[in-house]
Chain A
Amino acid sequence: MQKPLLEIRNLTVAFETDAGRIVPVRDLSLTIFPAQTVALVGESGCGKSVTALSIMRLIPQPPARILSGQVLFDGRDLPALSEKQMQGIRGREIAMIFQEPTTSLNPVYAIGEQIAEAIRLHQGVGRRAALAIAERSLADVGIADPHGRLREYPHQLSGGMRQRVMIATALSCRPRLLIADEPTTALDVTIQAQILELLRKLRRDRGMAILLITHDLGVVAENADVVGVMYASRMVEFAAVEDLFDRPLHPYTQGLFRSVPKLGRKMQRLETIAGTVPCPSCFPSGCKFHPRCGRTRELCSETEPDLREASPNHWAACHFVENYSGAAAVAPMLAHRREIVAGDREETAA
């Protein structure tokens, strides 16, 4: 039995604002094993980014506070570490890439310098050696003429290339876990595909685990091994990807899958999930999804369901788990996934 690389246990994060206390992440549990890709899916505002930033402790501690729970990385509880110890982990053991590559790079420094900065910090080498390593990182992420690029500035690169630079920076110190917060949302679709393929390749080559945060189910299908679905600050479903796509158990997940447009079939209207996501300061009582749920009953508005193992290795937070009848909708995604996985296996064998 492998030991988990990252284990989040019942994490609750609160923000103290002038308008009162907001809890963007409540009682969240998540496990990532080495070399595994775990996707964290959910709509905007469900708490995915806050979770990621809390792992890295990048949210300033006022106004944010980790109220309870543990974040165990290799057995060490990250929130309990000192700031200095945390700095040793950031960039080296756990690295993070962000959604907006344009603003995530400092415009007044050359990209070589910015990659080398992390290398010098964690590997203690001199400037020239660091730049050499940086050059190799750039080559690893598929940037042509890496030596020339070292001296260029962020505004001279395209969006896709900037994201590659971010990945190069993140990976330059060979972290064991990469947190990718919507890495392709701001990019064109074709570039998106390239970047995700790059991430898959790097993961294979280095045995790195990835926490992939996204709202795109297609991306999840193609890249993740395990999926966690978040809604309104809670984890509502957690399962292996094939299992989830085959038999989603939580009404929210089922709603998400139902809303996927079915190509090749005549449709009058797109399906939606009625209602809107509640804002953190006005969460409903009981199950947070119950106002929008098609099969809500009295228990749902009273008690919040815990994340329970509804079937082997498939957790769902619902009182009345039911089977899903629309598997056909996401079948194309699954099929595509199987192609990709097969393709990757060939590459590894080659």
Chain B
Amino acid sequence: MRRYLAFRILQLPLILAAIYLLTFFLTWVVPGSPFDKDDKVSDKLAMKLMAQRFHADQWQSFLAYYPLRIVRGDFGQSMQYSDWSVTDIVKSALPISMALGLFALSIATVAGVGIGVLAAVKRGGIWDFLSLTIALVGISVPSFVVASALLLFFCVRHPWFAISRCESIADLILPGIALALLPMAYITRLTRVAMLDVLSSDFVRTARAKGLSRAAVIWKHCLKHALLPVFTYLGPAAAATLTGSFVVETVFNIPGLGQHFVNSVRNKDQTLILAVVMIYSTLLLVLNLLVDIGYSLLDPRISVQEKAAS
């Protein structure tokens, strides 16, 4: 197990390097380096500074020196905001995005698991119907539609919430719900299926034969089994939340990293693009690794190697 872990941890910088190379190639090389292009968007002075600091006369040397800078935390100058360094932008925007993302994932997990369990236990009732609806809506309706609808209803028609304010947790509620709907749909579905599976297991019958109440059996014996697939889903859930954040931040006008990234794509701000891709990739890869480790801890039957082999 430890060997597999070491192997995975070693892979991490390799994968990041691959992503870096790919991103660099796609953003700097293919469209042409900004340093030798006469583009109205980028600031000449900023580019000059960058060219100096990063040995950017040839893109090859730039490629080599930029990572050194990144590792030291210096992402360079933003191409579109000449007064701001990318590091500053990231520092101000990342915490907001992370707060929103974590909030949304928490809602998705808690609500999703709760509804999924209830739907499985009380078959055919209102919880079943609710889980069905959420699953359908979450998977089919794009998050910007949900976000717009929420905004339309709760901010314009009945102004209970303020728009584009980002000071307290309350401001995160609406965007959080909009963002949570897609992962919640999957989590509800996964939990419901897993619960239904577990409820017909033999060991549930044994637990009942011991005299445990239905509630105790569900929460003590079944829940752990139902949570395992949800746990594995956390990796893709985080990726989905990230994707959704671009849109939700735009709709609700939240100054998070997602919105900045979208703007940077629109304005071809290469340094910011590269920085965001690297940050997000690192976050997701680390999260996936943690999930893999966590899963093998949760389920005593499986050693991490066995799971990798399956």
Interface of A toward B, CB cutoff 8 Å: 56, 58, 83-84, 87-92, 95-96, 98, 100, 103-109, 117-118, 121-122, 153, 155, 166, 169-170
A95→B202 contact, CB < 8 A:
no
- The segment out of B182-190, B204-212, B238-246 that lies at the interface is B204-212
Cross-chain contact of A153 among B203, B212, B301 (Cβ < 8 A) = B301
- Give Cα A108–Cα B205 distance, bound, in whole angstroms: 16
Instruction: Give the number of chain B interface residues (Cβ < 8 Å).
Output: 21
Given contacts A87-B212, A87-B213, A108-B299, contact A98 B221 (CB under 8 A): no
16 contacts between A and B (CB under 8 A): A56-B209, A58-B205, A58-B209, A90-B209, A90-B211, A91-B209, A95-B209, A95-B210, A104-B203, A106-B203, A106-B221, A117-B210, A121-B211, A153-B301, A166-B206, A170-B209
Residue from the set A56, A87, A100 with the largest chain B CB neighbour count within 10 Å: A87
A87→B211 contact, CB < 8 A:
yes
Q: Which residues of B contact A91 (CB under 8 A)?
A: 209-212
How many whole Å from B133's CB to the nearest CB in chain A? 25
A104→B206 contact, CB < 8 A:
yes
- Give Cα A90–Cα B205 distance, bound, in whole angstroms: 11
Closest 7 CB pairs of A and B: A91-B211, A90-B211, A103-B202, A91-B210, A118-B210, A106-B203, A96-B209
- Give Cα A260–Cα B257 distance, bound, in whole angstroms: 78
**Which residue of the partner chain B has the closest CB to A92?**
B211
- Give Cα A257–Cα B169 distance, bound, in whole angstroms: 77
Interface of B toward A, CB cutoff 8 Å: 201-203, 205-214, 220-221, 224-225, 298-301
A105→B206 contact, CB < 8 A:
yes
A98→B206 contact, CB < 8 A:
yes
B300→A90 contact, CB < 8 A:
no
Q: Which residues of B contact A92 (CB under 8 A)?
A: 211
Residue from the set A84, A105, A107 with the largest chain B CB neighbour count within 10 Å: A107
Cross-chain contact of B203 among A83, A90, A105 (Cβ < 8 A) = A105
Cross-chain contact of B212 among A104, A107, A117 (Cβ < 8 A) = A117
B211→A108 contact, CB < 8 A:
no
B203→A103 contact, CB < 8 A:
yes
Q: Which residues of B contact A83 (CB under 8 A)?
A: 213-214
Q: Which residues of A contact B225 (CB under 8 A)?
A: 108
Cross-chain contact of B202 among A88, A89, A104, A118 (Cβ < 8 A) = A104
A107→B206 contact, CB < 8 A:
no
- Give Cα A89–Cα B299 distance, bound, in whole angstroms: 32
- Give Cα A169–Cα B208 distance, bound, in whole angstroms: 12
Q: Which residues of B contact A118 (CB under 8 A)?
A: 210-211
A107→B301 contact, CB < 8 A:
yes
Query: Which secondary structure dominates chain B's binding surface?
Result: helix
B209→A107 contact, CB < 8 A:
no
**Which residue of the partner chain A has the closest CB to B216?**
A121
Given contacts A103-B201, A108-B225, contact A121 B210 (CB under 8 A): yes
Q: Which residues of A contact B206 (CB under 8 A)?
A: 98, 104-106, 166, 169
- Give Cα A155–Cα B203 distance, bound, in whole angstroms: 13
**Which residue of the partner chain A has the closest CB to B220?**
A117
How many whole Å from B204's CB to the nearest CB in chain A? 8
User: What 15 additional pairs, Cβ within 8 angstroms, besides A56-B209, A104-B206, A109-B221?
Assistant: A58-B209, A87-B212, A90-B211, A98-B206, A103-B203, A104-B202, A107-B301, A108-B224, A108-B299, A108-B300, A118-B210, A118-B211, A155-B300, A155-B301, A170-B209
Q: Which residues of B contact A106 (CB under 8 A)?
A: 203, 206-207, 221
How many whole Å from A187's CB to the nearest CB in chain B? 15
- Give Cα A37–Cα B216 distance, bound, in whole angstroms: 32
A98→B208 contact, CB < 8 A:
no
**Which residue of the partner chain A has the closest CB to B213?**
A87
Cross-chain contact of A98 among B205, B220, B298, B300 (Cβ < 8 A) = B205
Q: Which residues of A contact B211 (CB under 8 A)?
A: 87-92, 118, 121-122
Cross-chain contact of B210 among A84, A108, A169 (Cβ < 8 A) = A169
- Give Cα A96–Cα B205 distance, bound, in whole angstroms: 10
How many whole Å from A123's CB to the nearest CB in chain B? 11
Q: Which residues of A contact B201 (CB under 8 A)?
A: 103
Q: Which residues of B contact A56 (CB under 8 A)?
A: 209
**Which residue of the partner chain A has the closest CB to B204?**
A106
How many whole Å from B194's CB to the nearest CB in chain A? 13
How many whole Å from A51's CB to the nearest CB in chain B? 15
Q: Which residues of A contact B207 (CB under 8 A)?
A: 106, 117
How many whole Å from A255's CB to the nearest CB in chain B? 32
Q: Which residues of A contact B212 (CB under 8 A)?
A: 87, 91, 117, 121
How many whole Å from A105's CB to the nearest CB in chain B? 6
- Give Cα A92–Cα B210 distance, bound, in whole angstroms: 8
B210→A100 contact, CB < 8 A:
no
Residue from the set B203, B205, B212 with the largest chain A CB neighbour count within 10 Å: B203
Q: Which residues of A contact B202 (CB under 8 A)?
A: 98, 100, 103-104
How many whole Å from B114's CB to the nearest CB in chain A? 21
- Give Cα A145–Cα B205 distance, bound, in whole angstroms: 28
- Give Cα A118–Cα B299 distance, bound, in whole angstroms: 23
Residue from the set B208, B211, B220 with the largest chain A CB neighbour count within 10 Å: B211
- Give Cα A36–Cα B302 distance, bound, in whole angstroms: 43
- Give Cα A108–Cα B194 distance, bound, in whole angstroms: 15
A90→B208 contact, CB < 8 A:
yes
- Give Cα A87–Cα B208 distance, bound, in whole angstroms: 8
Q: Which residues of A contact B213 (CB under 8 A)?
A: 83-84, 87
How many whole Å from A81's CB to the nearest CB in chain B? 13
Residue from the set B201, B208, B212 with the largest chain A CB neighbour count within 10 Å: B208
Q: Which residues of B contact A153 (CB under 8 A)?
A: 300-301
Q: Which residues of B contact A95 (CB under 8 A)?
A: 209-210
How many whole Å from B297's CB to the nearest CB in chain A? 11
How many whole Å from B216's CB to the nearest CB in chain A? 8
How many whole Å from A12's CB to the nearest CB in chain B? 22
- Give Cα A103–Cα B206 distance, bound, in whole angstroms: 10
**Which residue of the partner chain B has the closest CB to A53?**
B205
Q: Which residues of A contact B224 (CB under 8 A)?
A: 108
- Give Cα A84–Cα B206 distance, bound, in whole angstroms: 17
